[in-house]
Structure 1
């Protein structure tokens, strides 16, 4: 007695969903990529204690070892809270959702950093962070 073999159906793998996922991942990684920003003020930043990075439109306050302020690379003539607030208002306009990044040299007096924090807080900026260097060990 001869048994008939059933014809085997062609088994095709549908790769369309795989391609969709790969393109979504590609777009996600392209959008979430960070770019290094160079600043003209030469300061020695303290070492980072975490790997968290901030990516957004920001206001950068750089403070050199002498306590001189630079807001988005523009040197401020006055080193008081009023002058710093005026410069922050000029750059931010009415947008208080911008992140404020304080880039203080490791030798900067603490009072200069506190003054920058006070100026940002008095203007209503709630996203305040400090720039640090990654430890290269």
Structure 2
């Protein structure tokens, strides 16, 4: 007997190349069409390191006696040199506050001038203490 079809002896196989091409084309399509949305949220102000807050910071301390003499770090300074002395202090120490201790009989103009010069030097927080 003679066989009509000679393909019975060959194994049947499926060509996977077109299917892989389609899968890769779909993968590229989804990657290109995907939109990445930046999530919205609140901005949180976190405190600084504990190491920095544990360091005691020195305050700018200025004393004015009843005669109008100005003392900074137990040294008498001229009223025109307060700003320069405070800037020097700020260069050496990290602080944002100043304390002005004035005697009760001190003239207000002297205290105001000292406060103005401290503010010009770059100290944002000021405190005034009146000494009896």
**Normalised by the size of structure 1, how large is the TM-score?**
0.50
Shift of 1:97: 3.5
Q: Report if the CA contact (8 A) 2:59-2:95 is conserved.
A: no
- Structure 2 partner of 1:129: 127
Structure 1 unmatched runs, 5+: 1-30, 32-54
Cα separation, partners in 2 of 1:124 and 1:94, compared to 1, 3 Å: farther
The structure with the largest helix share of the pair is 2
RMSD: 2.6
Q: Report if the CA contact (8 A) 1:97-1:126 is conserved.
A: no
Shift of 1:94: 6.6
Structure 2 CA distance for aligned equivalents of residues 132 and 69 of structure 1:
14
Structure 2 unmatched runs, 5+: 1-53
Q: Report if the CA contact (8 A) 2:63-2:102 is conserved.
A: yes
The structure with the largest strand share of the pair is 2
Greater relative contact order structure (CA < 8 Å, 6+ sep): 1
- Structure 2 partner of 1:108: 106
- Structure 2 partner of 1:9: none
Q: How many residues align structurally?
A: 78
- Structure 1 partner of 2:62: 61
**Normalised by the size of structure 2, how large is the TM-score?**
0.51
- Structure 2 partner of 1:91: 89
Shift of 1:62: 0.3
